[in-house]
Amino acid sequence: MHMKPLGHSGLKVSAVGIGCMNFGAVCDAGATRAVVDAALDAGINFFDVADIYGGPKGQAETLLGQALGPRRAEVILATKFGAKTGGRGGAVAGGGTAAYIRQAVDASLGRLGTDYIDLYQHHFPDADTPLEETLRALEDLVTQGKVRHVGCSNYSSAQLRGAAIAARSLGARGFVSAQNRYSLLHRDIEHDLVPIAQGQQVGILPYFPLESGLLTGKYRAGEPPPPDTRFARWGGGGTFATPERWAAMGHLQACADDLGHSLLDLAIGWLAAQPFVASVIAGVTSPGQVHANVAAASWEPTSEELTRIGSLAASPGAAA
């Protein structure tokens, strides 16, 4: 497994990571352990969870901590704080305050069964709390040894720039990573957030890299989704599967066939090859999916192949 730098943290993370949103929601304790064991054995060292994941809330952290057990020291463990339950509603009220952060980190440490978190990420920006308060509280956690590095998620380019300025004024270490939606079909961060991140040596952690399964190749335009898939449970792909996206999918599949690779290879391999991407966070529910993602991340497209693939997908600024 290829390792990449996590921003300016000095840490190295696997080119593909495990997104743990399914733990406790789709995967029970046994299935979670099977996924974690397969990932560790395949060389994946980056696990990304959040305090709101699972059913009930927090269960994903608990199951992940139990599955890691004595192998916890082998991984870069990342979690997030400050989102409403389910994550769909954005920031929780007061989620960036010092009091909230102190309570949230202790709760996450307890559920994860660890005394430190490698990467602690602000899940959604809190517009009602001064950023200086958030950064100062996070710096205190680093000083106390509860957290090694801090990152953000769903920050805009302006907010990421503001965070860097505030961190410098406070003498704080600041964010080493930015976790945002990014895929072949959703590339709006390329023209605003990415240049700011590169200037600050902040690593990008893409979420929804497979657009809820659309880029795995398991779905076909005009055909009913396979049973027991996300699209089947939803009754269709919704905004993930628009006519424009199906058209792009046809071009990408033809390109994959011509290159002798799968659509999954293109989706993950193209992302992992971007110099500003630290680790591609992909949610999985089985060891088979872990192995497929590892194989995809192991493919190293040539510069010509990267250009060709990128030209077939949505242009920067396009969004679902």
List residues bridging with 5 in a β-sheet. Answer: 12
| Average pLDDT by stretches of 10, the chain with 320 residues | 96 98 96 98 98 94 98 98 80 97 98 98 97 98 98 98 97 96 95 97 97 85 74 71 87 96 97 97 96 96 96 56
Q: Which residues of 167-180 are buried (b: 16+ CB within 10 A; e: fewer)?
A: beeeebbbbbbbbb
Residue tagged 């089985």 (tokens): 286
pLDDT, residue 281, reads 97
Q: Which of 53, 120, 207, 219 is catalytic?
A: 53
Distance CA 32, CA 285 (A): 8
Give the number of other Cβ atoms within 10 Å of residue 311's Cβ: 10
- The stretches of 113-239 forming alpha helices (DSSP H) are 131-144, 157-170, 193-200, 230-234
Annotated catalytic residue 53 = yes
pLDDT, residue 234, reads 63
> Pick from 250, 258, 257, 262: which is nearest to 298 by CA?
262
> Pick from 94, 112, 133, 97: which is nearest to 51 by CA?
112
pLDDT, residue 85, reads 81
Distance CA 102, CA 99 (A): 5
Distance in Å from the first CA to the final CA of the chain: 31
> In the CATH scheme, what is the homologous superfamily, with its name and number, of domain 3-312?
NADP-dependent oxidoreductase domain (3.20.20.100)
Helix H or strand E encompassing 205 = strand 203-207
Domain ranges of the chain: 3-312
